[in-house]
């Protein structure tokens, strides 16, 4: 019960996987959330348990976009170990289509996963977290600059940054911190699905590189240890415009 507990949404691959492993290396218990990739999530949980400092790790299958799943996901994490010290809202979808090609269903799907779910999960987490806990929202530079061809994703991530700043004062009164991190363009499955955007990101980067998921994950774990920082948006990128 002395181990801290982290819940990672979208934890089966990419940045989510690196987050689970980074929290595990820091000695946390980890809840690895997934929707469909149960086998991949189970493999991540096993990796966490195999780490020298790793604590327990479990898989929580739930579609965070479904309202009926949001409260139970938080409550189950607390019920298992009696606490929740960090929620990382990492799960996201990106439908890279121009405005004219996006249906109402497309807009609603992106907003449900990328904006409404993190807001609802943060609200529920704040109800059960103890002072000293933290929430980290994974956003995107698209939410700060806007990305051509991804208007819904850009809008959702930008709004999530605004939510982070707006909620900070209210949560601070409970001793809970909330921050947002834009990790930069990474060579994950999501990044690999858009090769043109990936190469554009590399070309825009001052050093001509892409962001590293493990580095971003370790930054987020470190951020949970800084008691004086809340309401901030951190950009882990070197792109210049």
Q: What is the mean pLDDT of residues 213-240?
A: 94
- Residue-level pLDDT at 194: 66
How confident is residue 191, by pLDDT bands cut at 50, 70 and 90?
A: low
| Digit-coded pLDDT (tens) for 13-49 | 999 999 999 999 999 999 999 999 999 999 999 999 9
Length of the chain: 241
| Digit-coded pLDDT (tens) for 142-179 | 899 888 888 999 999 999 999 999 999 999 999 999 99
* Structural contact between residues 18 and 213, judged by C-beta atoms closer than 8 angstroms: yes
User: How is the chain split into domains, by residue range?
Assistant: 5-235
- Residue-level pLDDT at 127: 97
Residue 234 confidence (pLDDT) above 90: yes
Residue 94 confidence (pLDDT) above 70: yes
Catalytic residue flag (residue 185): no
Question: Looking only at Cα atoms, what is the longest distance across the chain?
Answer: 52
Least Cα distance to 80 among 55, 106, 48, 102 occurs for: 55
- For the domain spanning 5-235, the CATH number is 3.40.50.720
Name which of 60-69, 185-194, 207-216 the model is least confident about: 185-194
- Residue-level pLDDT at 200: 76
Rounded Cα distance between 230 and 22, Å, is: 21
Q: Which residue has the higher pLDDT, 100 or 188?
A: 100
Q: Which of 58, 92, 135, 153 is catalytic?
A: 153
Q: Which residue has the higher pLDDT, 193 or 33?
A: 33
What 8-state DSSP symbol labels residue 113?
I
């Amino acid at each position: 019960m002395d181990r801290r507990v982290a819940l990672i949404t979208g934890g089966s691959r990419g940045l989510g996987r690196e987050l689970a492993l980074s929290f595990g290396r820091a000695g946390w218990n980890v809840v690895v959330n997934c929707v469909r990739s149960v086998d991949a999530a189970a493999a991540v949980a096993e990796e966490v348990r195999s780490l020298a400092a790793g604590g327990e790790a479990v898989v929580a299958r739930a579609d965070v976009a479904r309202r009926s799943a949001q409260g139970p996901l938080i409550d189950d994490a607390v019920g298992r170990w009696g606490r929740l010290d960090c929620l990382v809202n990492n799960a996201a979808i990106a439908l890279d289509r121009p405005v004219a090609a996006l249906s109402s269903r497309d807009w609603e799907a992106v907003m449900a996963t990328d904006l409404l779910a993190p807001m609802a999960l943060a609200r529920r987490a704040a109800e059960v977290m103890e002072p000293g806990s933290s929430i980290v929202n994974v956003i995107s530079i698209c939410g700060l600059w806007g990305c051509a061809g991804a208007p819904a994703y850009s809008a959702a991530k930008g709004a999530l940054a605004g939510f982070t700043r707006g909620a900070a004062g209210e949560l601070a009164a409970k001793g809970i911190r909330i921050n947002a991190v834009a990790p930069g363009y990474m060579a994950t499955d999501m990044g690999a699905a858009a090769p043109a955007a990936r190469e554009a990101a590399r070309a825009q980067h001052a050093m001509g590189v892409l962001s590293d998921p493990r580095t971003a994950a370790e930054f987020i774990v470190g951020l949970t240890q800084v008691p004086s920082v809340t309401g901030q948006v951190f950009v882990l990128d070197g792109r210049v415009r």
